[in-house]
Amino acid sequence: MSMFGGGFGGPGGGPGSGAIAGMGGTGARRNSGSPFAGIPPELAAGVAALEAREPVHPVPDVPFRQTPDSGRLTLWSLLSGRPGLLVTAAFAVLLEALLLQSGPYLVQIGIDHGIGAGNVPWLVFAAVAFLASVVLTALASGIRIRASGRLSAYATRDLRVRIFAHLQRLSLDFYTKEKAGVTMTRMTSDVEALQHLLSEGFAQFLIHGLTMVVVTAVLVHYDVSLAVITLLMVVPPLVILSLWFRKAADVGYNRQRDAIAGLFSHLTESLYGVRVITAHNQRDRNVIAHREVVGAYRDANDNTGRINAVYGPGTSVIGLLGLAALLLIGGRMVLRGTLTIGELTAFVLYLNAFFQPVQQLVQLYTNYQQARAALGKLRGLLRTIPAVQEKPGAIPLPPADGGLLIKDMTFGYDPARPVLRDVTLRIAPGETIACVGPTGAGKSTLAKLVARLYDPDSGSILIDGHDLRDVTLDSLHRQVGVVPQEPFLFAGTLRDNIAFARPDAPESAIRAAVDAVGLRDLVDRSPDGLDTVLHERGQSVSSGERQLIALARVFVAEPRVVVLDEATSSLDLRSELRVEAAIQRLLEGRTAILVAHRLSTARRADRVIVVDAGGIREQGTHDDLLAAGGHYATMYATWQSHTTR
Ligand SMILES: Nc1ncnc2c1ncn2[C@@H]1O[C@H](COP(=O)(O)OP(=O)(O)OP(=O)(O)O)[C@@H](O)[C@H]1O
């Protein structure tokens, strides 16, 4: 769809009155009186013409594999994907570098054969040849910039997709440990550092590197002893300084990468946590904390700035000393008649041409060091192995009855400190098990293990006799649906959110889910019905409605097994009853593991298990457990006394 159809309201929406309708739409919406209320008639033709010119973006064919990335990431692997562009860029670089060197030679011809010899045709020839070389250089430069720009755009696009696919593959443990801001830095700033190097840096590197080689050869050709003396004065100090810079910049740019990742992390967390920060009156403290991370970034930049401040002028001084020595030695040779003035001029120009690239290379080397640091970080990310992996040769899980068996299972986020120990539990197809127990006992952990968001450290979990680790992740996740404790809604329409797990779901399935979970009135109330756009993270709907949408999502997905981590946030009584009714409808005929934070939910389950101290302490029906007078009976009595108070 074009951006105009989506953003400023193409035809086809319902009558609009709310904020979303106000964002666009023709016809009825145009008269709604809000700003941006549709497309004014005088602009309609222009907008239609623009829409017609919108490029068509086909759905890219990006293969997604569950197998982890090899982590092999080199600059060459990024560039070699498009050999045509690479060869064109390399050829243009070569041409440009050679053409650039013809200038001083033509000046020498003009001086010695034209001016010196009073020969006008030679002078004209030198001038015309100079002009031609300038035009050709510009042409080669244009081709080089275009080719390397395209090459880098493709390479970074591929890299971004590759990293993103890897992020999608990584397991929950990665996201628990790694800060979102750090991952964001990898995807933005680090990739940009590489893009910068690939688009301009490499070509410039080659041009200047080649220039230095050609200039050295030309200097030697003009006068061997003069060239050797000059280069000996210049090259060794330059090499020593560059070696120092390489070492210092390596450390400095890595520190800079880490500091910017820290800055992004704090920024992301502050944006997500803005409500809590405001509510707890911690804005001033947060500004201080941000000052600290910004300060760390400043220090890192200051450090690299200091390194550059030594290296840049250092190379300049070496170059200028070289030129001074050349003037002295070369001037004496001219006086002795062993060198012409034209040759000395060309020599000076060439030596200057030798130093210009050195100056440029300093800058490029800085870019290179930044990109190298970024590449190291990205390589590290790509080498992160997902904790939950698909086994080679895993089979698709056949349509499941939904019988579950947890066998002698032990698991700990830190294997040295198990959260669950030797747990054994059999769940019949269609049975609903409610998991209750004190906070932190491991109920949600058990649910996550059944959904294979983590793998047990020992023992196994089987669905219809298949170990979860033996079946493909895709087939497993299609048949085991998860309703997390905090439902996450995406910025998009209500329909997109409900059909999230099954984007190709027919309209009838979506409507059936809406009715089943009791979302009909929300849909009817919303200005565009199912096409109403929700705000980021579903902030435009109530917490109860968010839970209902999450339930509708699983309804549409139609899994055989449902793992439901009941939300702990309490709702008002009416919403509570609506959510409970929706859960009942969802679980009908399905195997279910329910992490029940409210014992009213547990009461309705076929069986209740009490998880405590790393294992299942009690299990049975609600009535049996009450009659037994154990843990559950005590919990229930406490809960009842609180709810009836
Ligand atoms: N990602 C994690 N990394 C490390 N430890 C974790 C992680 N998630 C949970 N834990 C720890 O594991 C234990 C069990 O947590 P779990 O979330 O399963 O408890 P729960 O019984 O569901 O609690 P609640 O009723 O409060 O939701 C707790 O001690 C918790 O601190």
* Residue range 25-45: mean pLDDT, rounded: 53
Q: Which of 414, 422, 449 is nearest to 435 (CA)?
A: 449
Position 569 pLDDT exceeds 70? no
Higher pLDDT, 72 or 503: 503
pLDDT for res 17: 34
Locate CATH 3.40.50.300 in the chain: 404-643
pLDDT for res 593: 93
- DSSP for 609-621, please give it: EEEETTEEEEEE-
Q: Give the list of residues 6+ apart from residue 70 with CB closer than 8 angstroms, or none.
A: 382
Q: What angle do CA 139, 143, 145 make, to 5 degrees?
A: 115
pLDDT for res 62: 56
Position 3 pLDDT exceeds 50? no
The closest residue, in CA terms, to atom 28 on ligand 1 is 440
CB count within 10 Å of CB 640 equals 12
Locate CATH 1.20.1560.10 in the chain: 75-382
Cα of 428 vs centre of ligand 1, distance in Å, is: 26
pLDDT for res 367: 78
The closest residue, in CA terms, to atom 18 on ligand 1 is 442
Position 56 pLDDT exceeds 80? no
* Tokens read off for 250: 């390596």
Q: Tens digit of pLDDT for each residue in 343-392?
A: 888 778 877 777 777 667 767 777 787 788 888 888 888 888 888 888 88
Nearest atom in ligand 1 to 611's CA: 21
- Contacts by residues 214-218 (CB-CB < 8 Å, ≥ 24 positions apart): 214/97, 214/98, 214/101, 215/101, 215/350, 215/351, 215/353, 215/354, 216/354, 218/101, 218/104, 218/105, 218/350
> Ligand 1: which of 172, 443, 598, 616 to mutate, most ligand atoms within 8 Å of CB?
443
- DSSP for 44-77, please give it: HHHHHHHHHHSPP-PPP-----SSPP-----HHH
pLDDT for res 551: 87
Q: How would residue 18 be classed by pLDDT, with cut points 50, 70 and 90?
A: very low
* Residue range 267-296: mean pLDDT, rounded: 86
**Beta-bridge partners for 561:** 480, 591
Please answer whether residues 364 and 208 qualify as being in contact, where contact means their C-beta atoms are separated by less than 8 angstroms.
yes
pLDDT for res 462: 95
Domain 404-643 adopts which CATH fold?
Answer: Rossmann fold (3.40.50)
* Tokens read off for 581: 């009714």
> Ligand 1: which of 177, 178, 444 to mutate, most ligand atoms within 8 Å of CB?
444
The closest residue, in CA terms, to atom 25 on ligand 1 is 439
The closest residue, in CA terms, to atom 16 on ligand 1 is 442
pLDDT for res 21: 34
Position 16 pLDDT exceeds 50? no
Flag the least confident range among 117-131, 280-294, 339-353, 409-423: 339-353
Position 561 pLDDT exceeds 80? yes
Q: Tens digit of pLDDT for each residue in 74-113?
A: 878 888 878 888 899 888 888 888 887 788 788 888 888 8
Q: Tens digit of pLDDT for each residue in 507-532?
A: 898 988 888 888 888 888 888 888 88
pLDDT for res 27: 38
Mean pLDDT (the chain, rounded): 81
pLDDT for res 52: 77
pLDDT for res 24: 36
What share of the chain has pLDDT > 70, as a percent?
88
Q: How many residues does the chain have?
A: 645
| CA dist., res. 141 & res. 136, Å (int) | 8
pLDDT for res 61: 58
Cα of 439 vs centre of ligand 1, distance in Å, is: 8
| CA dist., res. 297 & res. 100, Å (int) | 40
Residues with CB under 6 A from ligand 1: 176, 413, 419, 437, 439-445, 595
| CA dist., res. 620 & res. 609, Å (int) | 7
Higher pLDDT, 297 or 54: 297
pLDDT for res 6: 33
Q: Tens digit of pLDDT for each residue in 160-213?
A: 888 888 888 888 788 878 877 788 888 888 888 888 888 777 777 777 777 778
Nearest atom in ligand 1 to 176's CA: 1
Q: Tens digit of pLDDT for each residue in 228-247?
A: 877 788 888 888 888 888 78
pLDDT for res 645: 55
Cα of 442 vs centre of ligand 1, distance in Å, is: 6
In terms of Cβ atoms closer than 10 Å to its own Cβ (0-12, 13-18, 19+), residue 21 is buried
Nearest atom in ligand 1 to 442's CA: 18
Position 301 pLDDT exceeds 70? yes
Q: Which CATH class is domain 75-382?
A: mainly alpha
Highest mean pLDDT among 125-139, 374-388, 541-555: 125-139
> Ligand 1: which of 170, 179, 445 to mutate, most ligand atoms within 8 Å of CB?
445
pLDDT for res 14: 34
Highest mean pLDDT among 14-23, 51-60, 457-466: 457-466
Q: Which amino acid, residue 236? A: P
Q: Tens digit of pLDDT for each residue in 390-401?
A: 888 889 999 888
Cα of 324 vs centre of ligand 1, distance in Å, is: 72
pLDDT for res 366: 73
* Residue range 147-155: mean pLDDT, rounded: 87
| CA dist., res. 491 & res. 158, Å (int) | 25
Q: Give the CA distances from residue 254 to residues 43, 210, 272, 434, 552, in Å, rounded to whole numbers and listed in that order.
A: 52, 29, 27, 50, 46
Cα of 617 vs centre of ligand 1, distance in Å, is: 17
pLDDT for res 611: 93
Please answer whether residues 551 and 575 qualify as being in contact, where contact means their C-beta atoms are separated by less than 8 angstroms.
no
* Residue range 261-267: mean pLDDT, rounded: 86
Cα 188 vs. chain centroid, distance in angstroms?
A: 7
Cα of 388 vs centre of ligand 1, distance in Å, is: 18
- Please report, to the nearest 10 degrees, the dihedral formed by the alpha carbons of residues 615, 621, 625, 627 taken in order: -160
What share of the chain has pLDDT > 90, as a percent?
17
Asked if the interface predicted TM-score (ipTM) of this complex is over 0.90, the answer is yes
pLDDT for res 53: 77
Beta strands 615-620; 607-612: pairing state: antiparallel
Highest mean pLDDT among 214-223, 414-423, 549-558, 630-639: 414-423
